[in-house]
Structure 1
C-alpha cells in the first residue's frame, strides 16, 4: 500500500463514525449534483470515493431498480458507516482504490466523485483509470457541497493559483486523462465539474 493511500485511510478512518453528523445538511446538494449528471433508468454508475455513501440514494433513484450503482472507497470504516446509515441498500459497496478499479473497461455509463479530487495521489493517472471504466460518451461529475473559496476558508487557507480544482488547472488535467470538460461551477454553495468521456 502506498504511503499516500495509507495516509488517506488513516485520515478517514479516524473521522468515519462522525462524518455525517459534521455535514448534516448536504443531502439536497448531493441530489442536485446527481441530477445534473443526466443519468437514465438502467444506467451503470460508480460513486468513486463514496465515503459514507451520501450520493448512493440519489444515484439509485436516478438509475432505478434496473440500473447498477457501485460505491467504492479505500477506507473500510467509511463503507461500514455507509452500511450503518442504511445506504448499503442503494448500491454495491467495494473496498477499492481508484488507482486500480476492479472493473472491466467501458463497464460504466458515469462516475460521480464527491470530494475525491483533492485526495488523489496521482490525479492524472487516477482520472485516466476512471476514464478507462467509462464508455465513450459517458460522464464524470466532480462535486463538493461547498466551493473552493468556502472550503479553503473552512480549513484556514488561502486559495492559490496552483489549486488543482481551479479551472485553468483542471481543464487540461481532464483533457490529458481522457475527459472533455463540459461545465465548471465554483460557487459558495457548491463545486461541480461535468466532463464527457472522449471517444
Structure 2
C-alpha cells in the first residue's frame, strides 16, 4: 500500500513546530520513562529501537538497561526533534536515525525490543507500520507502546472526551497488533502511565 505523504507532512509539521520546547513543556516525564523501561526487563547486550524517539527522552534509561554492550537506535521522522536530541546530548546514549517507522533501514529480526512513546496515535498506516516493526523484531522480541500518562488523563489535558475508537483502547489495540504479527501480553492504562506490551509471534 502506498504511503500517505500528506499524513507524514502533517506529523512532521506538528512536531517540528514543537521540538524546541518539547522537553520544557513536559519536564516531569523522566521518571515515567525510566519506570516503563525498567518494567521491560531488558538484558545487557540487547538491541533496542526507540521508534519515534523524538527528543530522545527514553535513550538514557534504555542505555542504562542494556549496558555498554547493548545497541540503542533512535529513529524519528522529524529532523528538528533529532536536533533537540543531539542538543540534549542524548546521541551519546544511542545512534540517531532520520527514518520512517513504515520503512526502516534495519535487517529483519535484528532487534530485541521496540519502544514506542506516544507512537501509535501518529502512525499514518497503523497496521502496516506495526507490521514493519514486527519485521525488524526477532521472534519472541517485544514491543512496548508507552505514554507517560494514561488515555483519560491525556484526553483531559487536551480538553476532549476519551473514546473507545482510540487505537490505544485495548479492544482496538489487541486485534490491530494481532493482524501485524504481535500478541498483546500486558496492558495498563492508568492516570500515571499507559503501557501496552506485545510479543513478536514466531
- Alignment TM-score > 0.5, same fold: yes
Matches within 5 A, 1:37-52: 37-52=40-55
CA distance in 2 between partners of 1:52 and 1:182 (Å): 28
Instruction: Describe the SS at the equivalent of 2:60.
Output: helix
The runs of at least 4 aligned residues of structure 1 exceeding 2 Å deviation read: none
Q: Indicate conservation of the 8 Å contact 1:112/1:141, yes or no.
A: yes
Corresponding residue to 2:8 among 5, 11, 35: 5
Partner of 1:14: 17
Quick check: 1:194 aligned with 2:197? yes
Quick check: 1:35 aligned with 2:38? yes
Quick check: 1:139 aligned with 2:151? no
Aligned length in residues: 199
Corresponding residue to 1:53 among 36, 56, 60: 56
- After TM superposition, give the deviation of residue 121 of structure 1 in Å: 0.6
Partner of 1:94: 97
TM-score, length-scaled by structure 1: 0.99
Corresponding residue to 1:85 among 80, 85, 88: 88
* Contiguous gaps of at least 5 residues in structure 2: none
Instruction: Describe the SS at the equivalent of 1:18.
Output: helix
Q: Spell out, residue by residue over 1:21-66, the C-alpha distance to the aligned partner (whole angstroms, 9 max, x if none).
A: 0000111100110111111000000000000000000000011000
CA distance in 2 between partners of 1:155 and 1:181 (Å): 27
CA distance in 2 between partners of 1:3 and 1:113 (Å): 22
CA distance in 1 between partners of 2:66 and 2:9 (Å): 33
Partner of 1:104: 107
* Contiguous gaps of at least 5 residues in structure 1: none
Corresponding residue to 2:169 among 151, 166, 169: 166
CA distance in 1 between partners of 2:80 and 2:137 (Å): 27
- After TM superposition, give the deviation of residue 161 of structure 1 in Å: 1.8
Quick check: 1:115 aligned with 2:118? yes
CA distance in 1 between partners of 2:88 and 2:150 (Å): 26
Q: Indicate conservation of the 8 Å contact 1:42/1:65, yes or no.
A: yes
- After TM superposition, give the deviation of residue 156 of structure 1 in Å: 1.0
Q: Indicate conservation of the 8 Å contact 1:37/1:140, yes or no.
A: no
CA distance in 2 between partners of 1:73 and 1:91 (Å): 13
- After TM superposition, give the deviation of residue 163 of structure 1 in Å: 1.0
TM-score, length-scaled by structure 2: 0.97
